[in-house]
Structure 1
Amino acid sequence: MTTLDFSRWNDELDCAVTVCDTEGVVLYQNRRSREVNGDVQGRSLIPCHNERSRAIIRRLLDEGGRNVYTIQKRGVRKLIYQTAWRQNGVVGGLVEYSMELPDPMPHYVRE
């Protein structure tokens, strides 16, 4: 049986993981997030976004929930999945996953 080092497995993912607190201050970035965004730990992610995005982030931080969408940047399609994380039932911040999407990407309907 393989044991998983839960303190380090995020660094080996091939998607970017960024975690912030309720003020938007980045608490954690995995290796891929640092490669894509630079090391912004300890800094607010709010100034990096436009007004529309700031309003969405503020709503997620205030109410919880998720925001999911796709983008294309420099010819690369990505899925962005932002969701509130909670501690003892209270929103503690956001986690964002940014995943490159293959082209073409299969889609399956399962019932």
Structure 2
Amino acid sequence: MSTGWVKELPFAITVTDKTGKIIEMNDSSVQTFEKYGGKTLVGKNVADIHSDRACKKITEIIETKTANSYTIEKNGVKKLVYQTPWYQNGEYAGLVELSMVIPAEMPHYVRR
């Protein structure tokens, strides 16, 4: 993701192929995963930077082709994480993970 509109978005985008190999990272993703190697993670398996529990969930997402979303808080920073399969020509091609900082308290609206 060295070019285009996604490069400098203020949230992390990490893309894997169908084997779990990281194929793209935007600037925020590189920064988020700096302690694991940052840009050098491209070409490595996503399992290399996730716990066994997280790897189990990633395997489930791959097998069921369903999205997974959750919030986390680390070092006082709350984030929304959204992981979803992506497709190319109708065939499963890998996973995309979006990770963005969100406010500690966030409005929620029910619209009709």
| TM-score category (smaller protein) | 0.7 to 0.9
Q: Specify the SS of the correspondent of 1:9.
A: coil
Q: Report the identity percentage.
A: 42
**Aligned partner of 1:20: which letter?**
T
Root mean square deviation, CA, Å: 1.2
CA distance in 1, matches of 2:92, 2:54: 19
CA distance in 1, matches of 2:91, 2:62: 10
**Aligned partner of 1:25: which letter?**
K
Q: How does 1:18-97 map to 2 (within 5 A)?
A: 18-37=14-33, 38-39=38-39, 40-97=41-98
Q: Specify the SS of the correspondent of 2:106.
A: coil
CA distance in 2, matches of 1:60, 1:71: 18
CA offset digits 1:39-80 (Å, max 9, x no partner): 111111112212221111112223311110000011100000
- Segments of structure 2 that go 5 or more residues without pairing to the other structure are none
Q: Which moved more, 1:95-104 or 1:44-53?
A: 44-53
- Segments of structure 1 that go 5 or more residues without pairing to the other structure are 1-6
Which TM-score applies when normalising by structure 2?
0.87
CA distance in 1, matches of 2:110, 2:6: 29
**Aligned partner of 2:46: which letter?**
L
Which TM-score applies when normalising by structure 1?
0.88
Q: Specify the SS of the correspondent of 1:57.
A: helix
**Aligned partner of 1:78: which letter?**
K
Following TM superposition, where does structure 1 have runs of at least 4 consecutive aligned residues deviating by more than 4 angstroms?
A: none
**Aligned partner of 2:104: which letter?**
D
Per-residue deviation, 1:107? 1.3
**Aligned partner of 1:9: which letter?**
W
